[in-house]
Amino acid sequence: MSLRRFAAGREQHEQERAAQSPPAPAGERCEMCSEPIGERHGHVANLEDRRILCTCRPCTLLFTHEGAGSERRDDGESPVRRFRAVPERYRYDPGFAMSEGDWDELAIPVRMAFFFRNSGMGRTVAFYPSPAGATESELPLDAWVRVLAANPAVADVEADVEALLVDRESGAYLVPIDVCYELVGLVRLHWKGFDGGEEAWTAIGAFFAALRDRSERVAREDARG
């Protein structure tokens, strides 16, 4: 058999095998380099449009260092950082100190809210989950400074990529920013009527229980600073 006939026969055999085999499922891909990624993967925040990108490990590591992901400015000023890797730090403070007066002053109408430093705006912003999505609440600076001073163990939130998620029923959680948007999505999916309904609150309770299971618990000496 000539080499050409052998190659043609092999190609035909491979085509027949491919036709008989079911197609491989289309998996999720890195939104930066298009490499396949698994269910457990990293995230990178696009600070320009506030999007969270699903990323492979090499792309995640690329933006973990200070200065990585910066873009040079035409006016000669310091480079603007556009991308930042989202950390995987989880802390839980069950004794988070916030009075009813402080909560009322923050003008948040529900029991849950998350707070993060927006470097582009130069200030901390507050959002709470609602059936319409993440709703922003005006944040009085004096009240928030008091809250952070009273809770030093969870006050070192990394700008843009971490948040302080406060649940008035269970405490406070220092978490990656994407976790807060998971909660927002959960509320949108399950909320029914004015008070949410049993299904929504069951899902919210399970969400916070899972968060506690994976978080480092703040010891009292840490909480005192």
pLDDT, residue 186, reads 94
Position 2 pLDDT exceeds 60: no
Are 60 and 111 members of one domain? no
pLDDT, residue 187, reads 94
Domain with 52 in it: 1-86
Position 139 pLDDT exceeds 60: yes
Rounded to the nearest integer, the mean pLDDT of the chain is 81
pLDDT, residue 77, reads 52
* Mean pLDDT along residues 172-184: 94
Per the structure, the count of domains in the chain is: 2
Are 120 and 78 members of one domain? no
Are 113 and 157 members of one domain? yes
pLDDT, residue 174, reads 96
Are 135 and 212 members of one domain? yes
3-state per-residue secondary structure call for 49-99: CCEEEEECHHHHHHCCCCCCCEECCCCCCCCEECEEECCCCCEEECCCCCC
Domain final position from 39, 67, 86: 86
Are 195 and 215 members of one domain? yes
Are 106 and 72 members of one domain? no
pLDDT, residue 143, reads 85
pLDDT, residue 217, reads 94
Position 1 pLDDT exceeds 90: no
Least confident of 141-145, 170-174, 212-216: 141-145
Are 14 and 57 members of one domain? yes
Greater confidence (165 vs 139) lies with: 165
Residue with tokens 């309770």: 205
Are 135 and 202 members of one domain? yes
pLDDT, residue 105, reads 86
- What region does 196 belong to: left with phi over 0, alpha with psi -120 to 50, or beta? left
